[in-house]
Amino acid sequence: MKVLVTGGLGYIGSHTVVELQNEGYEVIIIDNLSNSSIEVLDGITAITGIKPQFVKLDLKEKQQVEDFFKRHNDVRGVIHFAANKAVGESVENPLMYYENNVNTLVYVLKEVLSLKQQNFIFSSSCTVYGQTDQLPISENAPVQAAQSPYGNTKQIGEEIIMDTCKVKPDLNSISLRYFNPIGAHPSAKIGELPIGVPQNLVPFITQTAIGIRTQLSVFGGDYPTSDGTCIRDYIHVVDLAKAHVIALKRLLDQKNKTNYEVFNIGTGKGSSVLEVVNSFEKISGKNLNYKIVDRRKGDVIAIYAETKKANEILGWKAELTLDDAIGSAWKWEQRINN
């Protein structure tokens, strides 16, 4: 059964390809390599022993997208990761984000409608919730005005899919709202490859510990939380990848209740920045050089998932802990810098 993974050489995409292959799916990857490298293909192959088919293609090229689907009309499911995802960059360059994240979704979704089986999994984000005091946050919490063009592209993406599902009963889609993906495959053959200075917490921690960065800046120590630092729901990328396979299977087996569903994919547990730092120091045995500095604009104080719907309806639950994720991130950092 052939499954298309767009952005399949990216961080979450590559881990999902591994889990799809582990479940016996035939995977074809589209990636434009703008935020990933071809070596990831070797990493996937080294883990599963199966080299996925790979097509280098920029989904902004509408004609190329149409030609691809003409050649591969036997695709039975599409998992759509391909998008830019740096919050700060999206503020500086909104048009790049709307073109790359929204136009490409429209081009791919239009082609999905030409397939015999129209199953579409969308990579969404807890960013759509903005700042909320209803914690843990559930799927029916109101989607608030996005705090960044990146977050807005996820909100718009969900609406595009929802509106299309309303008039295309043969289209079956699930949006997965991720919380904070961290960690790497336990084999350390694939992991997160941030380009330039990492925006996210965990790669910054591991790069500081390995000596690429001199000091971690903790953005804010005066928030109304247990230790003054922001709280997030950090989910192991392998648990997140498995959620995609379960969501796809739900559609392939026609178990979905309506043709558009949304699930939070998180652990349901909130961890502060300092708790993450402490986890790293415990796991690595190293003291981390960090300094508490001013707050970062746009950060929400706290957010973590209500996971009941994913646990009880989707039939998925996070199994790995924060320490598991931090340990795998550190093992990966050491491997790519040895």
- Residue nearer to ligand WQD on the CB measure, 76 or 85: 85
Structure tokens at 128: 């759509």
For ligand WQD, which residue of 6, 36, 101, 125 counts as binding (CB under 6 A)?
125
- Residue nearer to ligand WQD on the CB measure, 42 or 294: 294
For ligand WQD, which residue of 121, 218, 243, 245 counts as binding (CB under 6 A)?
218
Which of 150, 178, 290, 304 is flagged as catalytic? 150
Q: Can residue 177 be called a binding residue for ligand WQD (CB under 6 A)?
A: no
How distant is the alpha carbon of residue 55 from its chain centre?
Answer: 21
For ligand WQD, which residue of 204, 260, 304, 330 counts as binding (CB under 6 A)?
204
Per-residue string for binding with ligand WQD, 24-63, x by CB under 6 A? ----------------------------------------
| Residues 6 or more apart in contact with residue 42 via CB below 8 angstroms | none
- Euclidean distance between CA atoms 298 and 285, whole angstroms: 32
Q: Can residue 15 be called a binding residue for ligand WQD (CB under 6 A)?
A: no
Distances in whole angstroms, Cα of residue 104 to Cα of each of 63, 83, 262: 12, 8, 20
For ligand WQD, which residue of 299, 311, 321, 336 counts as binding (CB under 6 A)?
299
Would you put residue 37 in left (φ > 0), alpha (ψ -120 to 50) or beta? beta
For ligand WQD, which residue of 84, 144, 187, 200 counts as binding (CB under 6 A)?
200
Q: Can residue 118 be called a binding residue for ligand WQD (CB under 6 A)?
A: no
Structure tokens at 253: 């087996």
For ligand WQD, which residue of 72, 110, 249, 296 counts as binding (CB under 6 A)?
296
| Residues 6 or more apart in contact with residue 82 via CB below 8 angstroms | 6, 7, 10, 13, 30, 31, 32, 59, 104, 108
Least separation, in Å, of the C-beta of 197 and ligand WQD?
9
Binding residues for ligand WQD, how many (CB under 6 A)?
Answer: 19
- Euclidean distance between CA atoms 79 and 12, whole angstroms: 11
For ligand WQD, which residue of 15, 76, 80, 85 counts as binding (CB under 6 A)?
85
Q: Which stretch binds ligand WQD (CB under 6 A): 22-30, 72-80, 100-108, 199-207?
A: 199-207
Q: Can residue 217 be called a binding residue for ligand WQD (CB under 6 A)?
A: yes
* C-alpha R_g of the chain: 19
| Residues 6 or more apart in contact with residue 49 via CB below 8 angstroms | none
Q: At what angle do helices 149-167 and 104-112 cross, to 10 degrees?
A: 20
- Euclidean distance between CA atoms 269 and 271, whole angstroms: 7
Q: Can residue 87 be called a binding residue for ligand WQD (CB under 6 A)?
A: yes
Q: Can residue 184 be called a binding residue for ligand WQD (CB under 6 A)?
A: no
Catalytic site includes residue 150: yes
Q: Which stretch binds ligand WQD (CB under 6 A): 13-21, 95-103, 160-168, 200-208?
A: 200-208
Q: Can residue 273 be called a binding residue for ligand WQD (CB under 6 A)?
A: yes
Least separation, in Å, of the C-beta of 218 and ligand WQD?
4
| Residues 6 or more apart in contact with residue 243 via CB below 8 angstroms | 176, 263, 265, 310, 314, 316
- Which segments within 189-238 are labelled E, that is strand? 216-219, 231-232, 234-236
- Euclidean distance between CA atoms 331 and 206, whole angstroms: 9
- Residue nearer to ligand WQD on the CB measure, 18 or 182: 182
- Residue nearer to ligand WQD on the CB measure, 11 or 68: 11
- Which residues are near ligand WQD by CB under 6 A? 85, 87, 125, 127, 178, 180, 199-201, 204, 216-219, 230, 232, 273, 296, 299
Catalytic residue list: 150
